[in-house]
Structure 1
Amino acid sequence: MKKLLLFCFICFAFSQFQQRPTLYIIGDSTVRNGSGKGSDGLWGWGSVISPYFDTTRIHIENHAIGGRSSRTFLTEGRWDKIMAALKPGDFVIMQFGHNDGGAINDTTRARGSIKGIGDETEEIDNLLTKKHEIVHSYGWYMKKYIRDTKSKRATPIVCSLVPRNVWKDGKVQRGVNSYATWAAQCAAAEGTTFIDLNEHIAKKYEAGYDEAKLKAEFFPGDHTHTNLAGAKFNAAAVVEGLQQQPACPLNQYLKK
């Protein structure tokens, strides 16, 4: 009898573990660099954020991948795989923008989206993929991720892009009037949680660093990609931004 009860308890505990909600993270190399295991000493914040969460209660999957824009994360079928698994109670944190300013159609990357959040389209024969494609605006793609997530009764969370180590007149250059603003506008239009990483991290940089110090401590190779220390700094900023949104249900899974 005791063995049967123990077996039943184990089965129940396992089923509860399996039914944990999942936090899906999508984005570019600033969210997951390379394999996400620190190759070349570079890391994205999504690879180091799990210690802030009670992973006995929530499962975390970082699906971000270097070089992708809001457009190509969708067109490569990566979003479809998440949608196939997404279930009620899950979460999606999204951060795009660093690669959306590239060429819309070329033979090397073809990853750019139309600037802004409008409904404009550009019809192309993609020189890279050899496929016919209708290209949309950055905002169109972001709003699609938000709406698709909500359609599964999951919770979308939009982040503005983390700032680069680019300074002017003693200030970190923001994405104002471009991708940071457009991300905020998409979140507001769709009524979902927004974390302004661009502004929040820029202020933190300015409070304790300058361009040279940031390069020495966080940006060993260029002005965009962080080392482990920089990724941890940015992950902490994500959590701080989340905590400033107390109504967001993801907060309940943070460690006390």
Structure 2
Amino acid sequence: MPLKLLLLLTTLATTTLLRPEPARLYLIGDSTVKTGSGTGQNGQWGWGSVLDKHFDTTRMKIHNHAIGGRSSRTFVSEGRWETVLSELHPGDFLLIQFGHNDSSPVNDTLRARGTIRGIGEETEEIDNLITKKHEIVHSYGWYLRKYIDEAKAKGAIPIVCSPIPRNQWEQDRIVRPDDSYPQWAQTVAKSKGAFFIDLYELVAAQYDQSTPTQVKQQYFTALDDTHTALAGAELNAKMVVKGIKSLKKCGLKKYLR
């Protein structure tokens, strides 16, 4: 082998060995984070599908495990959380956003995906009408604590996001609930020492600058007032990034563009 070629191969091999592996960010949530295939099915887009535009993807790889229709409960009961948990390594980041589907019925023949309201330790035993299995259902806060505790046990860094707001207005501004999922998410994150992004308020403040009709036409699909179009997903992703930048001592921000 010619000496120049040998030197070139040696240099390439050394460079490859020294190049650090990209950091990893995992996303878990519902359709507002990822809809369908993640590429705009039915005109719906989740913010997780466009979040990579804001990161240096040569140093950060995003794994979007969110899936439409799931609650904090069914993401666990279907085994999806176990899959993510098995992949987590020390130093990985985990963004958590649930709430939109947690208010559904606890047990019915349509979805059976609801959780007990609040953050308490109460439970409800059911014979699931869909899965035909006996199940113990917990509160929204219980499931968030499970994600945080188990992610931390793997050495990962959990970041809780409050759910994004729907296009619901009251007195010329987006409705702000007093005691609901945004507040519960914040309380749980604080109690567990996890990072928290008040995504609900960050997005609502942006919507407030327009009219209900403008927000509907620009950011939401024609189907409903929950699922965002591409422009809405992009706005929400920008607010996630704004939230990340505001987090003190959170290493995730160093991977932003």
User: Could you say whether these structures have the same fold, taking a TM-score greater than 0.5 normalized by the shorter chain as the test?
Assistant: yes
Give the aligned length.
254
Mapping of residues 80-119 of structure 1, within 5 Å: 80-119=82-121
Counterpart of 2:217 in structure 1 is 216
Identify which of 112, 125, 128 aligns with 2:127: 125
Could you tell me how far apart the structure 1 residues matched to 2:239 and 2:25 are? 17
Could you tell me how far apart the structure 2 residues matched to 1:68 and 1:5 are? 54
Q: Which amino acid aligns with 2:68?
A: G
Counterpart of 2:73 in structure 1 is 71
Q: Which amino acid aligns with 2:190?
A: A
Secondary structure of 2:158's counterpart equals strand
Could you tell me how far apart the structure 1 residues matched to 2:227 and 2:172 are? 21
TM, length-normalised to structure 2 = 0.94
Q: Which amino acid aligns with 2:171?
A: D
Give the aligned CA root-mean-square deviation in angstroms.
1.5
Residues 136-175 of structure 1: per-residue CA shift (max 9 Å, x gap): 0000000110111101111000000000000011110124
Deviation of 1:6 after TM superposition, in Å, equals 3.8
Could you tell me how far apart the structure 2 residues matched to 1:202 and 1:188 are? 22
Residues 77-135 of structure 1: per-residue CA shift (max 9 Å, x gap): 00111111110110100000000000101111000000111111111111111111110
Residues 174-231 of structure 1: per-residue CA shift (max 9 Å, x gap): 2430000000001000011100011111111102x11111111111321111111110
Q: Is the CA contact (8 Å cut-off) linking 1:17 and 1:56 kept in structure 2?
A: no
Provide the identity percentage.
54
Residues 15-73 of structure 1: per-residue CA shift (max 9 Å, x gap): 56673221000110111111101122210000001011111111101111000000000
Q: Which amino acid aligns with 1:80?
A: E
Could you tell me how far apart the structure 2 residues matched to 1:116 and 1:200 are? 22
Counterpart of 1:244 in structure 2 is 246
Q: Which amino acid aligns with 2:127?
A: D
Secondary structure of 1:127's counterpart equals coil
Could you tell me how far apart the structure 1 residues matched to 2:13 and 2:176 are? 51
In structure 2, relative to structure 1, the CA distance for the partners of 1:201 and 1:2 (3 Å cut) is: same
TM, length-normalised to structure 1 = 0.95
Identify unmatched segments of 5+ residues in structure 1: none
In structure 2, relative to structure 1, the CA distance for the partners of 1:44 and 1:4 (3 Å cut) is: same
Secondary structure of 1:202's counterpart equals helix
Is residue 30 of structure 2 the alignment partner of residue 28 of structure 1?
A: yes
Counterpart of 2:46 in structure 1 is 44
In structure 2, relative to structure 1, the CA distance for the partners of 1:9 and 1:196 (3 Å cut) is: farther
Counterpart of 1:185 in structure 2 is 187
Could you tell me how far apart the structure 1 residues matched to 2:17 and 2:138 are? 41
Could you tell me how far apart the structure 2 residues matched to 1:234 and 1:139 are? 23
Q: Is the CA contact (8 Å cut-off) linking 1:149 and 1:155 kept in structure 2?
A: yes
Q: Which amino acid aligns with 2:71?
A: S
Identify unmatched segments of 5+ residues in structure 2: none
Counterpart of 2:175 in structure 1 is 173
In structure 2, relative to structure 1, the CA distance for the partners of 1:133 and 1:239 (3 Å cut) is: same
Counterpart of 2:202 in structure 1 is 200
Q: Which has the larger radius of gyration?
A: 2
